[in-house]
Amino acid sequence: MSSTNPSRRRFLKHTATGLAGAALAGSGLAALPARAEVGYPEKEALTFGFIKLTDMAPLAIAYEKRFFEDEGLYVTLEAQANWKVLLDGVITGQLDGAHMLAGQPLAATIGYGTEAEIITPFSMDLNGNGITLSNEVWEEMRPDLPKREDGKPVHPIKADYLKPVVERMNAAGERFKMGMVFPVSTHNYELRYWLAAGGIHPGYYDPTNGDTSGRIDADAELSVTPPPQMPATLEAGTIHGYCVGEPWNQQAVFKDIGVPVITDYEIWKNNPEKVFGITREFAEKYPNTTVRVVKALIRAAKWLDADNNANRPEAVKILARPNYVGADEEVIANSMTGTFEYEKGDERPVPDFNVFFRHNATYPYYSDAIWYLTQMRRWGQIAEQKSDEWYRETAKRVYRPSIYAQAARELIDEGRMSAADFPDFDSETGFKPPQDEFIDGISYDGRKPNEYLEQFPIGLKADDRV
C-alpha cells in the first residue's frame, strides 16, 4: 500500500529551515522554545507496521485520506505477523515506525525483553479491548450473575463470579487457561487486573531467574496468542478465554464460540491503549518527518471521532479490507459504531468503546506510561522496588509530549484544528488528575506510583521480590 505518484504530491508551504528538532530537545511542554515552522521532511518514503486490529485505524485513515501526503510523506503500510516481529522490524530499521502495544516502548527502554530506545509521540486510542470466555465457562458462571428485569446479566461482570469456576477446575487438576496477546500488552495487564480484583491470582514473572512465563503462584495460567488466532484457539479448547482487541471478541459472538463478559472500558474507564512507536534515533535524525507523521495521525484520529462518530461507517468499510483488518464489516461495526454485543441478542450502547481523539486520547501522558510501569512492577517484570522519581524519569524517556505539541501547534496555525482540540500546552504537565474509575474502586495518581501499588491485596509492592 504505497503512494508514490508524483502527480499527487502537494506543495509544502513550510520553509526548509524549520526547526522541528526543537521539539525533541526536551520532554516537558513547558520547556518548549519559541515555535518555528516545520521544515521539509528529511525522509519522504516511509514504511509503517501494524497488527490486524481495529485500533490501527489512525494509520489506515491517514493513508486513505491522504493526510500523510499533505505532509509530503509517501507511506507504505505493512501488516505484521505478531508483536515481536513488529518490534524487531522497528528496531532494525526495516520499519520506520509502527502501531505498538503501549508497553512495548517502555519494556524495550528498561531492557525487559529486547532492549532498545523506543519513543512515542502519539497515543493511538482509548479503550477497545474485551475479555471473552468460552460458552462452557459462561454457562457455569451465568446462574450466579445478578440479572436485570429482562433477565439479561447486569454489567460490569466482575471476576468474583469466575472464581468458583477456576477453583473447581484447579481442585479437579485441570488448569484454567486464558490467552492474551503479549507479556507487555495492555491486554495482559487488563486481564491480570480483572482477575486479581476478583481474587484470582494471575501469577508472577521472575526474569532475574529466567522465568518469563508469568505463572508463579498462579490460579489462572495466561499465555500468548496472536490476536487473529484467538477465536480459533478458543474454539479448539486450548484456552478457556482471552483478552484481545477488536474485532476478535465480537468474532466469538459472530461464530457462537464464546461470550465477551467485560470490556476494558468497564475495567478502567477511558484507559490508554496502543501507541505509535519509533526509535529515538529516527526522531533525532528526522525531526521534521517525525512531526509531520504526528500531524497526519492527529488529523486521522480527529476524523475518526468527528461529528459524534459520523465517519465510523466509512472507517468500517476501509478496515474490513484484507490489507487492513480483514474481518467482516458486520463484526467490525459491532464495536466501531458505538455498540457492543456481549452475547447473541444482548447488544448494548458503548459509545466510547473505541475512542481515537475525544478525551485527549492522542496525547502521550506521562501518567499513562507510569501506569504500565506499575503493572510491570506489580507482576514481577520489574524485579525490584523503584523510586517514584525512577517512574517519572522513565516515562519522560519514552513518552514525548513536546513532539506532539509541535505537531498540534502547526495544525492550529494552518487552520486545520483549533486550540480547543488540545490540552493547554503552556500549563500541561503530562499528568492526568487522579483517576478512580477502576472496577475495584482503587484510585490511581501517576505522581505517586509506589503509593498506588500499596493499595493492591494481590501483587508485589515495596521491597517484595518473587
HEC-encoded secondary structure of 41-68: CCCCEEEEEECCCHHHHHHHHHHHCCHH
Give the model confidence (pLDDT) of 107-143 as tens digits.
999 999 889 999 999 999 999 999 999 999 999 999 9
- Output the pLDDT for position 428: 59
CA 202 – CA 159 distance, rounded (Å): 12
Query: Which sign does the torsion angle of CA 263, 267, 272, 274 carry?
Result: negative
Domains 6-127+272-337+353-421 and 129-267 belong to one CATH topology: yes
What does pLDDT average to over the chain?
Answer: 92
Phi, psi of 64 (to 5 degrees): -65, -35
Give the model confidence (pLDDT) of 151-199 as tens digits.
999 999 999 999 999 999 999 999 999 999 999 999 999 999 999 999 9
Is residue 9 over pLDDT 60? no
- Output the pLDDT for position 427: 59
Number of alpha helices (DSSP H) and beta strands (DSSP E) in the chain = 18, 16
Is residue 5 over pLDDT 70? no
For strands 220-224 and 129-134, give the pairing: unpaired
- Output the pLDDT for position 231: 97
The H or E element containing residue 450 is helix 449-453
* Residue range 347-375: mean pLDDT, rounded: 96
Binned at pLDDT 50, 70 and 90, residue 429 comes out as confident
CA–chain centroid gap for 283, Å, is 21
* Residue range 24-43: mean pLDDT, rounded: 60
376 CB-near residues (< 8 Å, 6+ apart): 103, 106, 107, 110, 112, 184, 382
Is residue 424 over pLDDT 90? no
- Output the pLDDT for position 426: 67
Q: Which CATH superfamily is domain 129-267 in?
A: Periplasmic binding protein-like II (3.40.190.10)
Binned at pLDDT 50, 70 and 90, residue 36 comes out as low
Is residue 77 over pLDDT 80? yes
- Output the pLDDT for position 335: 87
- Output the pLDDT for position 27: 39
Query: Contact, 210 vs 239, CB < 8 A?
Result: no
Higher pLDDT, 318 or 19: 318
Query: Contact, 221 vs 215, CB < 8 A?
Result: yes
Is residue 351 over pLDDT 70? yes
Binned at pLDDT 50, 70 and 90, residue 243 comes out as very high
Is residue 349 over pLDDT 70? yes
Please tell us whether the domain made up of 6-127+272-337+353-421 is placed in CATH 3.40.190.10: yes
* Residue range 271-289: mean pLDDT, rounded: 98
Binned at pLDDT 50, 70 and 90, residue 1 comes out as low
Query: Contact, 127 vs 165, CB < 8 A?
Result: no
Give the model confidence (pLDDT) of 283-325 as tens digits.
999 999 999 999 999 999 999 999 999 999 999 999 999 999 9
* Residue range 23-45: mean pLDDT, rounded: 63
Domain ranges of the chain: 6-127+272-337+353-421, 129-267
CA 289 – CA 155 distance, rounded (Å): 45
**Dihedral angle computed from the Cα positions of residues 288, 289, 293 and 296, in that order, rounded to the nearest 10 degrees:** 70
Percent of the residues in the chain that have a pLDDT greater than 90, as a whole number: 88
Give the model confidence (pLDDT) of 199-241 as tens digits.
999 999 999 999 999 999 999 999 999 988 999 999 999 999 9
Q: Please provide the DSSP assignment of 354-409 as one string.
A: EESSGGGTTS--HHHHHHHHHHHHHTTSS-S---HHHHHHHHHHHB-HHHHHHHHH
User: How is residue 440 written as a grid cell?
Assistant: 475495584
